[in-house]
Amino acid sequence: MTRLSVNINKYALVRNSRGGKMPDLIQIAKDCERFGAQGITVHPRQDERHIRYSDVRPLKEIVTTEFNIEGYPDKRFMEMVLEVQPHQCTLVPDASNQLTSDHGWDTNMEKLFLTDIVGKLQEKGIRVSLFVDAKEDMVLGAKDVGADRIELYTGPFAEEFHTCKEEAIEPHLRAAKVAHEIGLGINAGHDLNLDNLKFYKSSIVNLEEVSIGHAIICDAIYFGLETTIQKYLEELK
């Protein structure tokens, strides 16, 4: 079964919009796990508009499944990750003012930079996943820099899904095939939801993990968090 990692960034955004400690991220993470999530993801950005750096260490102490920290590997981020030592670090090429992740690494152009970063993380026993577009050459580049996994950027797939899902999935099939052949684990994320998740999962047969945040909090407004997580788990069976 493909693992579901719940990204709790948007709960932090709600908290920050009002100040104070509601909702309580520690309780949110505990409840996500209690309701069946197999991982917790956070993505601290430079401006700390949702997850704050001060949130990360307390979350690591209570997460009992798998803790995944996403982000751009600048000096501050790397110092924090190397100290906290999550199970997985997903590296994304986000600019400081970027609203959301909307492209993957150019693993060939950034080869020297990524090789150094990946090596430092792996020295601490941290599994490294690179956020990449569904392109075979970017997957091969991820292998060259020493990554353990890739996270396929599924934004374009989600945009095209309702127009022609067979065409939308095709680049991901090719990229996943290459990744499997060269020994890279396969994660996926961005705009996966209850409409498109089952098709994506059933198509990418070696999919190990999906990271979902925005869609889960949107669905939880209507269904509640427990029911929502159960719905997503059902789609991944």
Torsions phi, psi for 128 (to 5 deg): -115, 125
Q: Which amino acid type is present at position 146?
A: G
Per the DSSP assignment, residues forming a β-bridge with 128 are 89
**Which of the following is catalytic: 50, 190, 209, 235?**
190
Sort strands 207-212 and 149-153 into parallel, antiparallel or unpaired.
unpaired
Q: Which amino acid type is present at position 79?
A: E
Q: Annotated catalytic, 190?
A: yes
**Which of the following is catalytic: 33, 43, 50, 151?**
43
**Residue 66 to residue 87: CA distance in whole angstroms:** 6
Residue 22 φ/ψ region, left for φ over 0, alpha for ψ in the -120 to 50 degree band, beta for the rest: beta
Kind plus residue range of the DSSP H or E element containing 192:
none
**Residue 119 to residue 164: CA distance in whole angstroms:** 40
Q: Annotated catalytic, 48?
A: no
DSSP state of 75: H
Per the DSSP assignment, residues forming a β-bridge with 152 are 132, 188
Q: Annotated catalytic, 70?
A: yes
**Residue 7 to residue 36: CA distance in whole angstroms:** 14
**Which of the following is catalytic: 33, 50, 66, 70?**
70
With beta carbons less than 8 A apart as the criterion, state whether 148 and 204 touch.
no
Task: List residues with catalytic annotation.
Answer: 43, 70, 190
